[in-house]
C-alpha cells in the first residue's frame, strides 16, 4: 500500500477521535463523478472504497498482501477492476473493524435495530447465521415450509428441528399468501419447547402477513421472531409501503441489499434487536459462516445503498410505487391478463398472471430475453420481473409494453392456474434435516425412490423452495411435481441427478 494511500485513508481509519474529523472532511470534498449523489459524506466504507480504487487506478499502490491480482489488469484483465479487499484495502487489517462498526451502526440506526452486520454472501449466509444464533441442536423451531433452501440448510447446520407452518394458497392465482397468525400461535401452543419462529416475509411473490401479529404471539410464547425479508430491503421507507420486519416487532431480519437495493450482487444485511437475541451469539453465528476475506466493493456498496435509502428512500420508493401501479393498471387492461394486487401484496411487486391469456410463461420469457430484458422468474402461469428503486417510470412502462407484446404473440386457450409444488408441498418429515444430511445415503432409481427418505434437497429454482428436503418421505406426488417442472422447462436445482432418473435416499 503506497504512502499516498496511507495519507488518503488516514482519515477513514476510525478511532473515536478521528471519526468526527473524517466525517467533516468528506463532506467538504467536492462531488466525485464516481459518487454522483455525494453519498460518501454519510458512507464511510464507500468513502474508503472510492479512495482505494482511485489510488489503484492511478497506479499508486504496491500491495504486498492479498488479493493476488495486486490491482494489475494485465494478467486476467479488467475482471478484477474495482476489487478492493475490505481488510487491508478499505483500511488496514488492524483497523478495518472500526470502519465496519461505524457503517454497520449507521445501518442499525436506520432500521431501528440494536445490531447489524453486512454480509458478502447474500441472505443465504444471513439465514444460516440466524439459524445458528438460536437454541441448541435438537430444539424445535416454527418455520414456514415455503422457506428458501438456505434456511433449510441453516437448520442442518444448527441441528434445529422444524415444525412446519404453511401459507394459505390463493385459489385464483395458485400463489401463496402470507402465513396466518393463528397457524403460528397453534404451532407454538403445540410445541411449547420451540426456541424461535422463522418466517419468510414478504413471500417470493410479494404477499405479506401480519408480522406485528406474529411478533405478538412469538413474544407471548417467549421466543424471538426471525424474518427472512430477502426481497424487502426497501420496505418501511415510504408511507405507502408496509413497515419492515424490525419495525413490525421482529427480533431479527435478513435482507438482500442486492435484490431490492442497488448494491453489488451478494450484498446482504442482517439486523437484530437484542432483547431476545444475544449479540455475542449473533456475532459468533455470523462469523462462523462468513468469509474472512470480504470484498470491500460489496461491503461499500451495502453502505452506499444504506446511505441512499437514508438520503432519498422515500423519493425513490415513491417513484417505484408509481411505476408499478401504472404497470399493474396497464397490464390489467389487456384481455385475460392479471396481476397480483390488493392490501396483501406489497406495492412494488409486479407478479404477472398469464393463465387467462393462455400464453405460456416460458415463451413469454423467451421473447423478453430476445428483446434484451430478462425477468426473475417465469413458469407456465406466472412471470415475475423485479422492478427496483433503480428503475424509473419510463423503464417499467417500456418493459410492460414488451411483456404485453410477448403475451399477444403467444396467446392460447385460457386455463385455470395450477399452484406450483413449491407452494403446496406437504412433506412428511421422518428425520430431522441434520440427521438426514449426515446419514449414510444411497442412489436408487426413481421407480424405487417413493416411500424412501430423501437424503438430498431438491428445489425448482426459482423460487428455491425445496419440494424435497433431507429427512422427508419421497412421495409419488413430490416426484410427479418435480417431473412436471422439469418437463415444463424449469430448472431442477441441487439434485444429484437433475434428470430425476435417480434419487439420493437414506441407506438401509
Ligand X SMILES: Cc1ncc(COP(=O)(O)O)c(C=O)c1O
Please report, as ranges, the residues that interact with ligand X according to CB under 6 A: 122-124, 127, 148, 150, 200, 204, 228, 230, 256, 268, 464
d(CA 161, CA 164): 9
Q: What minimum distance in Å lies between the beta carbon of 227 and ligand X?
A: 10
Q: What minimum distance in Å lies between the beta carbon of 122 and ligand X?
A: 2
- The residue (of 124 and 400) whose beta carbon lies closer to ligand X is 124
d(CA 323, CA 311): 20
- The residue (of 377 and 474) whose beta carbon lies closer to ligand X is 377
- The residue (of 132 and 337) whose beta carbon lies closer to ligand X is 132
Q: What minimum distance in Å lies between the beta carbon of 357 and ligand X?
A: 26
- The residue (of 176 and 200) whose beta carbon lies closer to ligand X is 200
Query: For the residues of 176-226, what is the DSSP string, one character each?
Result: E-PPPHHHHHHHHHH-TT---EEEE-S-TTSB---HHHHHHHHHHTT--EE
End-to-end CA distance of the chain: 58
Q: What minimum distance in Å lies between the beta carbon of 126 and ligand X?
A: 8
- The residue (of 102 and 379) whose beta carbon lies closer to ligand X is 379
- Spacing of C-alpha 174 from chain mean position: 23
Q: What minimum distance in Å lies between the beta carbon of 143 and ligand X?
A: 12
d(CA 493, CA 148): 12
Spell out the SS3 assignment of 380-449: CCEEECCCCCCCCHHHHHHHHHHHHHHHHHCCCCCCCCCCCHHHHCCCCECCCHHHHHHCCEEEEEHHHH
CA dist 21 → 16, 17, 24, 27, 185 (Å):
10, 7, 5, 10, 51
CA dist 277 → 21, 222, 281, 426, 435 (Å):
34, 11, 8, 31, 26
**120: exposed, middle or buried (Cβ count in 10 Å: 0-12, 13-18, 19+):** buried
- The residue (of 129 and 221) whose beta carbon lies closer to ligand X is 129
**Nearest residue (beta carbon) to ligand X:** 122
- The residue (of 124 and 297) whose beta carbon lies closer to ligand X is 124
Q: What minimum distance in Å lies between the beta carbon of 153 and ligand X?
A: 11
Q: What minimum distance in Å lies between the beta carbon of 110 and ligand X?
A: 19
- The residue (of 374 and 438) whose beta carbon lies closer to ligand X is 374
Q: What minimum distance in Å lies between the beta carbon of 484 and ligand X?
A: 21
Amino acid at each position: 500500500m503506497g504512502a499516498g494511500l496511507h495519507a488518503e485513508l488516514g482519515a477513514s481509519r476510525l478511532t473515536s477521535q478521528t471519526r468526527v474529523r473524517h466525517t467533516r472532511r468528506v463532506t467538504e470534498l467536492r462531488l466525485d463523478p464516481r459518487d454522483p449523489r455525494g453519498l460518501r459524506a454519510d458512507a464511510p466504507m464507500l468513502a474508503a472504497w472510492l479512495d482505494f480504487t482511485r489510488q489503484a487506478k492511478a497506479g499508486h499502490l504496491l500491495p504486498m498482501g492479498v488479493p493476488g491480482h495486486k490491482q494489475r489488469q494485465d494478467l486476467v484483465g479488467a475482471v478484477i477492476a474495482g476489487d478492493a479487499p475490505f481488510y487491508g484495502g478499505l483500511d488496514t487489517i488492524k483497523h478495518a473493524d472500526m470502519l465496519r462498526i461505524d457503517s454497520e451502526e449507521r445501518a442499525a440506526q436506520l432500521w431501528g435495530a440494536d445490531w447489524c452486520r453486512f454480509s458478502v454472501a447474500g441472505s443465504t449466509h444471513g439465514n444460516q447465521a440466524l439459524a445458528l444464533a438460536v437454541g441448541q441442536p435438537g430444539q424445535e423451531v416454527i418455520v414456514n415450509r415455503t422457506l428458501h433452501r438456505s434456511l433449510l440448510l441453516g437448520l442442518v447446520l444448527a441441528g434445529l428441528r422444524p415444525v412446519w407452518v404453511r401459507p394459505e394458497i390463493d385459489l385464483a392465482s395458485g400463489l401463496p399468501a402470507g402465513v396466518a397468525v393463528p397457524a403460528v400461535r397453534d404451532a407454538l401452543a403445540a410445541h411449547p419447547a420451540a426456541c424461535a419462529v422463522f418466517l419468510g416475509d414478504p413471500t417470493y411473490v410479494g404477499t405479506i402477513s401480519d408480522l406485528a401479529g406474529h411478533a405478538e404471539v412469538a413474544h407471548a410464547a417467549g421466543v424471538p421472531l426471525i424474518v427472512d425479508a430477502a426481497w424487502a430491503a426497501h420496505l418501511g421507507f415510504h408511507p405507502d409501503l408496509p413497515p419492515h420486519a424490525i419495525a413490525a416487532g421482529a427480533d431479527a431480519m435478513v435482507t438482500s441489499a442486492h435484490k431490492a437495493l442497488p448494491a453489488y450482487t451478494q450484498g446482504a444485511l442482517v439486523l437484530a434487536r437484542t432483547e431476545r437475541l444475544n449479540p455475542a451469539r449473533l456475532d459468533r453465528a455470523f462469523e462462523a459462516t462468513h468469509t474472512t476475506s470480504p470484498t470491500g466493493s460489496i461491503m461499500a456498496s451495502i453502505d452506499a445503498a444504506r446511505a441512499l435509502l437514508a438520503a432519498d428512500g422515500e423519493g425513490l420508493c415513491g417513484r417505484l410505487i408509481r411505476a408499478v401501479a401504472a404497470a399493474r393498471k396497464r397490464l390489467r387492461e389487456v384481455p385475460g391478463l392479471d396481476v397480483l394486487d390488493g392490501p396483501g401484496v406489497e406495492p412494488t411487486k409486479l407478479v404477472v398472471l398469464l393463465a387467462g391469456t393462455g400464453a405460456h410463461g416460458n415463451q413469454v420469457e423467451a421473447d423478453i430475453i430476445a428483446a434484451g430484458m430478462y425477468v426473475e422468474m417465469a413458469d407456465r402461469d406466472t412471470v415475475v420481473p423485479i422492478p427496483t428503486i433503480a428503475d424509473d417510470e419510463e423503464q417499467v412502462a417500456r418493459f410492460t409494453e414488451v411483456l404485453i407484446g410477448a403475451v399477444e404473440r403467444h396467446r392460447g386457450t385460457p386455463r385455470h392456474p395450477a399452484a406450483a409444488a413449491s407452494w403446496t408441498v406437504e412433506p412428511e418429515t421422518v428425520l430431522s434435516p441434520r440427521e438426514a444430511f449426515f446419514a449414510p445415503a444411497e442412489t436408487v432409481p426413481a421407480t424405487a425412490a417413493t416411500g424412501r427418505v430423501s437424503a438430498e434437497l431438491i428445489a425448482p429454482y426459482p423460487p428455491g423452495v425445496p419440494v424435497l428436503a433431507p429427512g422427508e418421505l419421497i412421495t409419488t406426488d413430490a416426484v410427479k411435481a418435480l417431473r412436471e417442472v422439469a418437463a415444463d422447462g424449469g430448472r431442477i436445482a441441487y439434485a444429484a441427478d437433475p434428470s430425476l432418473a435417480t434419487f439420493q435416499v437414506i441407506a438401509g
